[in-house]
Structure 1
Amino acid sequence: PVLGSLYGSRFLTGGLGGSITHQCFYSITPANKYDRKYWCKIAETGVCYTIISSSGYTSEEYVGRVSLQDVPQNGTFAVTMTGLQSSDTGRYRCGIGPTTGGLYVSLNLTVLAEASVSRPLQLIQGELHGSATVLCPSGDTQGGGKRFWCKVGRTSCTLIADSDGYVGRRHLGRVFITPRDSSGAFKVLINDLVKEDSGLYRCGIERLNGWDSSQEVVLRVATASALPRRPKFLSGTFGGSLSFKCHHDPKSSYEEKSLCRWEGGSCSLLLDTNGFVHESYKGRLQMGSSDPEHGTYTVVLSQLRLEDAGWYWCRAKSGHTEHTSSVKLHIQ
Structure 2
Amino acid sequence: MSILAFLASAFLLSLLPAEAARSKYPPKSAILNPIFGPREVSGLLDGSVTVKCFYPQTTVNKHDRKYWCREATRSCHTVVSSNGYVAPGYQGRVAITDFPDQGVFLVNVSGLALADRGSYRCGLGLNNRALSFQVKLDVSEGPNVPEEAELFYVELQGSVTITCSFGQDYASTRKYLCKMEKSGCRNIIDTYGKVDDEYAGRILLSNENTAGSYSIMITQLGWQDAGLYLCGAGVYGESGETKEVDLHVYEGTDVPQGKHTVLGVKGGSVTIECHYDAKGRNSLKYWCKWRKNGCSRIIDSNGFVSDLYEGRVAMYDNPQNNTLTVILNRLADSDSGYYWCMTNENREKKTSKELKIVDGEPSLTGEEEVEASVGSPAQLACSYPCKYYSYEKYWCKWTRNGCTPVEASDQSHAELNVDCDKDNKTILLNFDDVALTDQGWYWCGVKHKGIYGETKAVQLRVSGGELHGESGRGFHAANQTPLPPARREMLPPRPLEEVVLARVPQRRHVTAASPSCSAGPSSLVLALVSVGGVFLILATVFAVYKYRQIKRSDLVSVGSYLTNISMSDFESAKEYGANDNACMKGTQETQIGGD
- Same-fold call, TM > 0.5? yes
Aligned Cα RMSD in Å? 4.4
Matched, 1:324 2:350: yes
Task: Decide which of 278, 287, 290 is 2:313's aligned counterpart.
Answer: 287
1:63, distance to aligned residue in structure 2 (A): 3.7
**Alignment partners' CA distance in 2, 1:94 and 1:177:** 35
Structure 1 residue 101: Cα displacement: 8.8
Determine which structure has the larger strand proportion and give its number: 1
Question: What corresponds to 1:226 in structure 2?
Answer: 254
Residue 80 of structure 1 aligns with which residue?
Answer: 108
Residue 310 of structure 1 is matched in structure 2 by 337
**1:37: which partner in 2?**
67
Aligned CA distance change for structure 1 residues 120 and 84 (closer, same or farther; 3 Å): farther
Tell me the equivalent position of 2:219: 190
Residue of structure 1 equivalent to 2:177: 148
Change (3 A) 1:157 1:12: farther
State the match for 1:296 in structure 2. Answer: 324
Give the Cα–Cα distance (whole angstroms) in 1 for the partners of residues 160 and 77 of structure 2.
Answer: 37
User: Residues 198 and 259 of structure 1: is their aligned pair in 2 closer, same or farther, counting only changes over 3 Å?
Assistant: closer
Gap change, CA 1:289 and 1:35, over 3 Å in 2 = closer
In the alignment, the residues of structure 2 paired with residue 301 and residue 100 of structure 1 have an alpha-carbon distance, to the nearest angstrom, of 53
| 1:82-105 superposed Cα distances (whole Å, 9 cap, x missing partner) | 1345x2684432144557998541
Residue 258, structure 1, aligned to residue 284, structure 2: no
Kindly state the Cα deviation for residue 109 of structure 1 after the two structures are TM-superposed: 2.8
Q: What are the ranges of 5 or more consecutive residues in structure 2 without an aligned counterpart?
A: 1-31, 360-595
- Which of the pair has the greater relative contact order for Cα pairs under 8 Å at 6+ separation? 1
1:22 and 2:51 are equivalent in the alignment: yes
Cα pair distance change 1:137/1:47, threshold 3 Å: farther
Partners of 1:150 and 1:202 within 8 A in 2: yes
**Measured at CA, do residues 241 and 99 of structure 1 come closer, stay the same or move farther in structure 2, by a change above 3 Å?**
closer
Partner-residue secondary structure (3-state), 1:227: coil
Q: 1:325 to 1:77 in 2, by over 3 A?
A: closer
**Separation (CA, whole Å) in 1 of partners of 2:130 and 2:305:** 59
Correspondence 1:213 to 2:240: no
Q: Is the 8 A contact 1:317 1:323 kept in 2?
A: no
Alignment of 1:42-191 (within 5 A): 50=77, 52-54=79-81, 56-60=85-89, 62-69=90-97, 76-85=104-113, 87=114, 90-96=117-123, 97-98=126-127, 103-111=132-140, 112-114=142-144, 118=148, 121-124=151-154, 126=155, 129=157, 131-138=158-165, 140-141=167-168, 142-143=170-171, 144-148=173-177, 150=179, 161-163=188-190, 165-167=194-196, 169=198, 171-173=199-201, 175-183=202-210, 184-191=213-220
> What letter matches 2:272 in structure 1?
K
Letter in 2 for 1:328: E
Cα deviation, residue 197, structure 1:
6.4
Structure possessing the higher radius of gyration over alpha carbons:
2
Q: How far apart, in 2, do the equivalents of 1:35 and 1:91 lie?
A: 23
Which shifted more, 87-96 or 26-35? 26-35
Q: Look up the equivalent residue of 2:51 and give its one-letter code.
A: H
Write the distance in 2 (CA, Å) between the matches of 1:216 and 1:7. 10
TM-score, with structure 1 as normaliser:
0.68
Extract unaligned runs of 5+ from structure 1: none
Contact 2:52 2:107 in 1 (8 A): yes
Match of 2:418 in 1: none
| 8 Å CA contact retained: 1:7, 1:25 | yes
Flag the 1:200–1:233 CA change in 2: closer, same or farther, 3 A. closer
Partner residue, 1:7: 36
Distance apart, 1:190 and its partner CA: 1.0
Aligned residues between the structures: 305
Distance in 2 (CA, whole Å) between partners of 1:160 and 1:29 is 39
Q: Is the 8 A contact 2:176 2:232 kept in 1?
A: yes
User: Aligned partner of 1:181: which letter?
Assistant: E
- Indicate how the Cα distance of structure 1 residues 67 and 160 shifts in structure 2: closer, same or farther if over 3 A, else same: farther
Asked if 2 retains the 8 angstrom alpha-carbon contact of 1:16 and 1:115, the reply is: no
1:52–1:67 contact (8 Å) kept in structure 2: no
Q: Distance in 1 between matches of 2:344 and 2:305?
A: 15
**Deviation per residue, 1:10-53 (Å, 9 max, x gap):** 232434543211122346696997567333278xxx89985714
Q: CA deviation at 1:9?
A: 0.9
Distance 2:184 2:74 in 1: 27
Partner of 1:235: 263
Show the counterpart of 2:518.
none
Higher fraction of helix: 2
Aligned AA (2:268): S
Alpha-carbon displacement from aligned partner over 1:102-142 (angstroms, at most 9, x marks no partner): 85413253533247875764544x3x65x323242425353
